[in-house]
Amino acid sequence: MPPHVRAKERLDAYAREAVRRLFFNALYWLPGRPRWDTGITPPELEEFVASAPAGRALDLGCGTGTNVVYLARHGWEAVGVADVTRLDFVSGPFDLALDIGCLHSLPVRDRAAYATGLSRLVRPGGTYLLYAFAPGGPATGLTADDVRVTFSDTFDVVRVEEGRGRPSAWYTLVRL
């Protein structure tokens, strides 16, 4: 492929990503609650909290903090982080990391850095709960294979539960 065609493809991909981020930011900062922030803790997190001893929890892409508050009310020391591309300032270890719809929005090129940051923060034996849309939906999306490959060096995928409604899934991973 000629260099000028590759350059145009890179520019097109950059422009699509910039528009997507601009749209996301506009939705997030408009008055009122973002449409994806329901203010409701998902049953998957409630089930985990009911079955695990309280410890330290990290909510990645915490939004308005609904799940941080829920975890704290159930005895967890909970920390929420809005920007998951910058995890260097966060101190671990955590017994639980939670991502409800954040990783699936990251460009593919940023997934390795996310996985590295997460592996530094979650203690061995700790749990990572991930909810992600499948490709083709409102975000970049992830397949089960994407999740396995992204975390293969440091996490074991122990459960995949297909989501209801939009193509999506809940993933339970355990830190090696």
- Summarised one tens digit per residue, pLDDT across range 80-131 is 998 888 899 999 999 999 999 899 988 888 999 999 999 999 999 999 999 9
- 38 domain residue, yes or no: no
The pLDDT value recorded for residue 23 is 54
Write the DSSP string, 137-171.
Answer: SSSS---HHHHHHHHTTTEEEEEEEEPSSSSEEEE
Which of 32-41, 43-52, 160-169 reaches the highest mean pLDDT?
Answer: 43-52
Residues 85, 13 share a domain: no
Q: Are residues 53 and 97 in the same domain?
A: yes
Q: Report the SS3 class of residue 69.
A: helix
Buried b (16+ CB within 10 A) or exposed e, 112-146: eebbebbbebbeeebbbbbbbbbeeeebbbbeeeb
Domain that holds residue 18: 1-31
Give pLDDT, residue 170.
96
Structural domain count of the chain: 2
Q: Looking at the DSSP assignment, which residues form a beta bridge with residue 57?
A: 78, 96
Residues 12, 91 within the same domain? no
Examine residue 139 and state whether it is found in any structural domain, yes or no.
yes
Report the alpha-carbon distance of residue 149 to residue 92 in Å, rounded. 23
CATH number of the domain at 77, please. 3.40.50.150
Instruction: Give domain status of residue 36, yes or no.
Output: no
Per residue in 122-153, pLDDT tens?
A: 999 999 999 999 987 777 889 999 999 999 99
- 83 lies in the same domain as 106: yes
The answer on 139 and 76 residing in a single domain is yes
Provide the β-strand partners of residue 105.
none
The conformational region for residue 133 under phi > 0 = left, psi -120 to 50 = alpha, else beta, is beta
Q: Are residues 94 and 121 in the same domain?
A: yes
